[in-house]
Structure 1
Amino acid sequence: MTADDGHDGAQYLAGSPVRVSILRTLRREPRRPADLTDAVDATRTTVQRILGGFRERDWVVKRDAAYRVTPTGKRVHEAYETLLDEVALADRYGRFAADLERVDAGLPPEALDAGELTVATDRNPLAAVDRLTELLREGRDAEIRAVSPIVIQQFNRAAAAALDAGAEVELVIDRDVAETSVSEFGPATDRALDDDDATVYVSPEPIEYGLFKRDDVACVTAYDRRNNPRCVFESTEPIVTEWVDDRFESLVADARRLSAVVEEA
């Protein structure tokens, strides 16, 4: 038996929300057809027809005038509910996952179950920027690790506020961001070079996604093709925090200090 053998059954169940509702209702407790019509808001004829389809597939049996789900029916229902959950997850995290996959970030798929997402929208295009800025500003007396493919004034000001409040900041940027920082954000660059609590590394390779770690909070930021931050995925779960730490250490291992890059330039 192959996966294709179950296609007809899957298509049958997915073909009507009422079918799913009836199977879900019978999972809770056996019911008579008349009880099902009220529970799922369907006509008795529709309910009888669906119950007949379920009986043909051995998903339900009739006993003592009530219909009961069989063990195979329970497995079918559980698998279908899992599929619905996965589709809902894809709808919620689709853009974030696609942007990270496009740049080969390597975030484990199971991590998507372990966090919350802030998404930039047409109505709030700065939602992701605002969330990252807030996390930075809240970093008083904290050890902050970050990776960023862009430099903007909001991030510079938030990082300065964190440093003023006693934070220690480690940041990885790429060469393009370093050049922009030197040419357009002189005061912020000077502080990064002079402040003992700030360490900036320059990656030899382009950076295409963002990372942030503060205490037990870790974030992964997905950027669109124009390098706008679109989604911030935030979590305190080890599967995310440990992955962020590993990626940060890997980038630092291949990077050079900003001071060395500036001196060379």
Structure 2
Amino acid sequence: MEPSEASLEEIEFLSLSPNRVAVLGLLAEESHTRTELAGETGASQATLGRILSDFADRSWITRAGSEYRATATGCLVAAGFDDLQTILETERKLRTIVEYLPSEEFEFDIRRLSDATITLPTQTRPNAPLQRLLSLLREGERVRAVSHAFNEQTLTVVRERTGADVQTFEGVFSQDAIDALEADPSLRSPFRTLLENERATVRTRQEGVPIAAMVIDETAYLLLRDDHGVLRAAVDTDDDAVRSWAHERFEAYWADATPLEAGDLSSSTPE
């Protein structure tokens, strides 16, 4: 259903005045006097008089003595406008990274990312997204990962943490990621050490892994790259729905992957 001109005018009426939005939101929560509204919003009595009059004309509020409160339709408008603001704030936050988000894999409302921490590379800190991951890994006690890559820095932190008996690690990686580790003499031995640790379990997936995601304790983490493999951003959040999704994606890839043991790695250095 397309919005009518009248409904768009009402959206404009609210959006052009932060005080209108604030007053309606307050009255949707509970009753307030004009003095209380002035204290909460900082609006003058004259401004509040106009706002309350406009709201009364629309039957968005009702008055009982000195107190005002929102009607059922006033509460409906307040809730709807709050949702719209959340959507737009989330869109603005994700605007620069939306093309890199694996949204086709998401099974949660993207608004759940409204409070996420987004880490972008900069000229002075081009590896800022990876550094954000490493800081989380250095504190994490339980790590579950699915990825198409396993870089040296991440391997080093995980190997050290599991080796110190302060972290458990479960990972599902693409076969290409495992082949890259085997092909690098400086990484093959540390990776073998990780696999020999009973606190670490790794599986491989021949079909590949289309996302790079981790659950580190209570935090869900996404590492975002473009089609050329260039690191573009990291997103992490403690949101319950996003964390549940990350666990579900891990378990789905885990069930479809092959266990990898230290003995499965080649022992010779490639020519």
| Counterparts in 2 of 1:96 and 1:43: CA distance versus 1, 3 Å | same
| Counterparts in 2 of 1:242 and 1:61: CA distance versus 1, 3 Å | closer
Work out the CA distance in 1 between the residues paired with 2:239 and 2:43: 42
Aligned to 2:34: 31
Question: Is the CA contact 2:60–2:70 (under 8 Å) kept in the aligned structure 1?
Answer: yes
Show the 5 A alignment for 1:46-125: 49-60=50-61, 69-93=70-94, 99-102=100-103, 104-109=104-109, 112=112, 116-122=116-122, 124-125=125-126
Work out the CA distance in 2 between the residues paired with 1:223 and 1:22: 40
Aligned to 2:225: 224
- Number of aligned residue pairs: 255
Question: Is the CA contact 1:19–1:50 (under 8 Å) kept in the aligned structure 2?
Answer: yes
**Offset, 1:113:** 6.3
Question: Is the CA contact 2:113–2:237 (under 8 Å) kept in the aligned structure 1?
Answer: no
Q: List gaps (5 residues or longer) in structure 1.
A: none
Question: Is the CA contact 1:22–1:36 (under 8 Å) kept in the aligned structure 2?
Answer: no
**Offset, 1:165:** 0.8
Aligned to 1:152: 151
| Counterparts in 2 of 1:100 and 1:39: CA distance versus 1, 3 Å | closer
Work out the CA distance in 1 between the residues paired with 2:118 and 2:2: 40
Work out the CA distance in 2 between the residues paired with 1:151 and 1:74: 50
Question: Is the CA contact 1:220–1:232 (under 8 Å) kept in the aligned structure 2?
Answer: yes
Over residues 84-112 of structure 1, what are the superposed CA-to-partner deviations in whole Å (9 max), with x where a residue is unaligned? 2333334345556653345x222412782
Over residues 206-252 of structure 1, what are the superposed CA-to-partner deviations in whole Å (9 max), with x where a residue is unaligned? 434222234x4342313131341612313273x34443232122212
Q: TM-score, normalised by structure 1?
A: 0.73
Higher helix share: 1
**Offset, 1:158:** 0.8
Show the 5 A alignment for 1:116-195: 116-122=116-122, 124-139=125-140, 142-166=141-165, 167-183=167-183, 185-193=184-192, 195=195
3-state SS of 1:171 partner? strand
Work out the CA distance in 2 between the residues paired with 1:95 and 1:219: 20
| Counterparts in 2 of 1:76 and 1:128: CA distance versus 1, 3 Å | same
Question: RMSD between aligned alpha carbons?
Answer: 3.9
Work out the CA distance in 1 between the residues paired with 2:39 and 2:159: 64
Work out the CA distance in 1 between the residues paired with 2:97 and 2:246: 16
Identity of counterpart residues, as a percentage? Answer: 22
3-state SS of 2:150 partner? coil
| Counterparts in 2 of 1:169 and 1:66: CA distance versus 1, 3 Å | closer
| Counterparts in 2 of 1:244 and 1:168: CA distance versus 1, 3 Å | same
Work out the CA distance in 2 between the residues paired with 1:126 and 1:96: 16
| Counterparts in 2 of 1:101 and 1:192: CA distance versus 1, 3 Å | closer
| Counterparts in 2 of 1:205 and 1:169: CA distance versus 1, 3 Å | same
Question: Is the CA contact 1:136–1:159 (under 8 Å) kept in the aligned structure 2?
Answer: yes
**Offset, 1:18:** 3.4
Aligned to 1:251: 253
Work out the CA distance in 1 between the residues paired with 2:17 and 2:135: 45
Q: List gaps (5 residues or longer) in structure 2.
A: none
Question: Is the CA contact 1:202–1:261 (under 8 Å) kept in the aligned structure 2?
Answer: no
Question: Is the CA contact 2:205–2:258 (under 8 Å) kept in the aligned structure 1?
Answer: yes
Residue 234 (structure 1) aligned to one of 234, 237, 241 = 237
Over residues 153-193 of structure 1, what are the superposed CA-to-partner deviations in whole Å (9 max), with x where a residue is unaligned? 2112112212321244332222332332223x324323434
Work out the CA distance in 2 between the residues paired with 1:66 and 1:240: 41
